[in-house]
Structure 1
């Protein structure tokens, strides 16, 4: 047993990511890391090949659309715009990777939780996983229904001259952090059949930790080589977050509701 969830002190967002990196190399998890890792490598290698072949032309076009009175910030704005494009593409392709790898990420979260608490979560085999695929992909669809309208609002900011174009990269980065927090926290939450709406409410209760966790994931998905391994690291880190904090909170809440009834 690596942890006692009743005595653990909650960590910061960055420490949970570091904990996920440490768990990644555990012998009992290596097999379950392999498939998500291979999916991530293929998706991100393809994405970054396409991105770096087109990014310069996109940035020049965006800069040309800025009003003349903002021309003085052009050189300052370049790094933020490049970073915003990297974050945008990283989020899109990490979402695609997560959609494809969702069943395996859920299994990795399950095995990570079992390792952390020192007991089996369930004894489902591969056939049970296959039977559960419709529910897993339905859950992924729920995330997209939540994300998409908000993504469109962020995208529209890039089209508003002046103020909108100036603040859009910063708003996009913050929101992408929130989306990443939801994306990876959902695996351990969904393993315990916690409804999506309830999960969002619980995560919002620790917004600072979750934003830090999610924004770090967003940042690392923009870095070559590291972006290959960030998905399984984030799954393990989010599961440690669940074990240390949310599992006990939700169990306590469930017991209180049962007593009141």
Structure 2
């Protein structure tokens, strides 16, 4: 059995940002690379396929635009093509972040399990591969719970953008804070779910350590906005969230009388 590693808070309490950044260190560990590589390759292959298809459609679209433009405006192509490609990359990055949470959910749970085992030196009794396959409907059901929690609140926050003055000043700040909270829920849920902690109990635990949760989610949100870099945000966030689980919540659910700090 591998010996336990020291996570950030084992010697000194760290912020949620430090936990997220620690995830970059963890994904390089030999025992975790396979569980990082598989969902990453699925993500890259799907993303490459969609980009290829979309670029083909963009080419058709720009051929049509060129046919409509007079010759003296043909130089607009040099501006419109880069703008279209950058916009496509940003939009697809956000869409794929959501889609991949569903496609990679079983792998994410396994990654969280292996990270916890690496950090504690103690294996989790999650059963055989057959047991994991049987557990797949429950895992996807957990993703559905997160989506149900997210959608109505996201719509409410988006409506705030239409309120005069508030929409241009306060709404962006509220949206960022909401996104940070949701990122904390999304990625911290994997180690909680591995221990069959109820979704509402997980939210309560994160609320008890609100500063750490929000700073962790804020870091994930910022890195998720960077095209290409956001490909590795998911495994990094899972590793960081699991380290946070080990330091702040694991003993609480083994010994409920202990309050999270």
TM-score, with length taken from structure 2: 0.77
When residues 42 and 154 of structure 1 are mapped into structure 2, their CA distance, relative to the original with a 3 A threshold, is: farther
The farther-off stretch of 39-48 and 234-243 is 39-48
Matches within 5 A, 1:111-260: 111-122=114-125, 124-253=127-256
The farther-off stretch of 174-183 and 95-104 is 95-104
- Residue 31 (structure 1) aligned with residue 34 (structure 2): yes
**2:23 match:** 20
- Residue 93 (structure 1) aligned with residue 84 (structure 2): no
Q: Secondary structure of the equivalent of 1:253?
A: coil
CA distance in 2, matches of 1:229, 1:7: 25
The farther-off stretch of 34-43 and 210-219 is 34-43
Q: Give the CA RMSD over aligned residues.
A: 2.9
1:40 and 1:231 in contact (8 A); partners too? no
When residues 176 and 8 of structure 1 are mapped into structure 2, their CA distance, relative to the original with a 3 A threshold, is: same
Cα distance per residue 1:179-217 (max 9 Å; x no partner): 000000000000000000000010011111111111111
CA distance in 1, matches of 2:11, 2:48: 38
Tell me which stretches of 4 or more aligned residues in structure 1 moved more than 4 Å.
4-8, 42-50, 88-92
When residues 205 and 109 of structure 1 are mapped into structure 2, their CA distance, relative to the original with a 3 A threshold, is: same
Unaligned runs of 5+ in 2: 59-85
When residues 101 and 4 of structure 1 are mapped into structure 2, their CA distance, relative to the original with a 3 A threshold, is: closer
TM-score, with length taken from structure 1: 0.77
